[in-house]
């Protein structure tokens, strides 16, 4: 028999609202404690997941009249790093896939700098793999983060 996994698969549920994101991230990071991740890896996880969760709440769940939850399933593999699957029952992505996001043009006057639009670019930059699928009535956003390696 091989060594036991460094981290068994885990699931964290949060309410589908902005107030719940901070607590949900704290719960998820507690699940990752056995990995003894660096501060940089922890920051990467927090940035990517906060952006993804806030996008879900702002866009996918904004028209939902009743409260709902968001599920985050995590697994760690020494070769691929951390995989988080975020599942919500919101509106599907308009194109059927995760937006690519592009680097904003910073070669403009200060007053013309964009205030937003960096999120998907940042997610794709920090994650080694980003996939989106619609399974029945649920959105599945799969994020692979090259941490703990």
pLDDT recorded at residue 119: 86
pLDDT recorded at residue 116: 55
Residue 77 burial (C-beta neighbours within 10 Å; 0-12, 13-18, 19+): middle
Distance separating alpha carbons of residues 123 and 145, to the nearest angstrom: 10
User: Distances from the Cα of 1 to the Cαs of 4, 7, 9, 35, in angstroms?
Assistant: 9, 17, 19, 21
Q: 115 pLDDT band (50/70/90 cuts)? A: low
Task: State pLDDT tens for residues 30-69.
Answer: 999 999 999 999 999 999 999 999 999 999 999 888 889 9
Is it the case that residue 117 has pLDDT exceeding 70?
no
Determine the average pLDDT of the residues in 106-119: 63
Distance separating alpha carbons of residues 107 and 139, to the nearest angstrom: 36
CA atoms within 13 A on the CB side of 128: 11
- Axis-axis angle for helices 39-55, 119-126 (nearest 10): 140
Identify whether the C-beta of residue 69 lies closer than 8 Å to the C-beta of residue 102.
no
Determine the average pLDDT of the residues in 25-34: 96
Task: State pLDDT tens for residues 58-106.
Answer: 999 998 888 899 999 999 988 889 999 999 999 999 888 888 776 666 6
Is it the case that residue 140 has pLDDT exceeding 90?
yes
- Axis-axis angle for helices 18-31, 39-55 (nearest 10): 150
pLDDT recorded at residue 103: 64
Domains of the chain, start order: 10-145 (3.30.565.10)
């Amino acid at each position: 028999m091989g060594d036991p996994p460094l981290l068994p698969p885990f699931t964290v549920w949060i309410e589908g609202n902005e107030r719940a994101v901070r607590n949900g991230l704290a719960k998820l990071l507690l699940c990752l404690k056995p990995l003894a991740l660096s501060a940089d890896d922890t920051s990467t996880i927090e940035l990517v997941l906060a952006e993804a969760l806030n996008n879900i709440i702002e866009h996918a769940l904004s028209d939902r009249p009743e409260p709902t939850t968001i599920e985050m399933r995590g697994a760690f593999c020494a070769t691929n790093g951390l995989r988080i699957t975020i599942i919500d029952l919101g509106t599907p992505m308009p194109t059927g896939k995760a937006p690519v996001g592009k680097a904003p043009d910073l070669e403009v006057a200060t007053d013309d700098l964009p205030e937003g639009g960096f999120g998907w670019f940042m997610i794709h930059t920090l994650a080694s793999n980003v996939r989106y699928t619609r399974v029945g009535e649920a959105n599945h956003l799969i994020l692979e983060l090259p941490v703990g390696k």
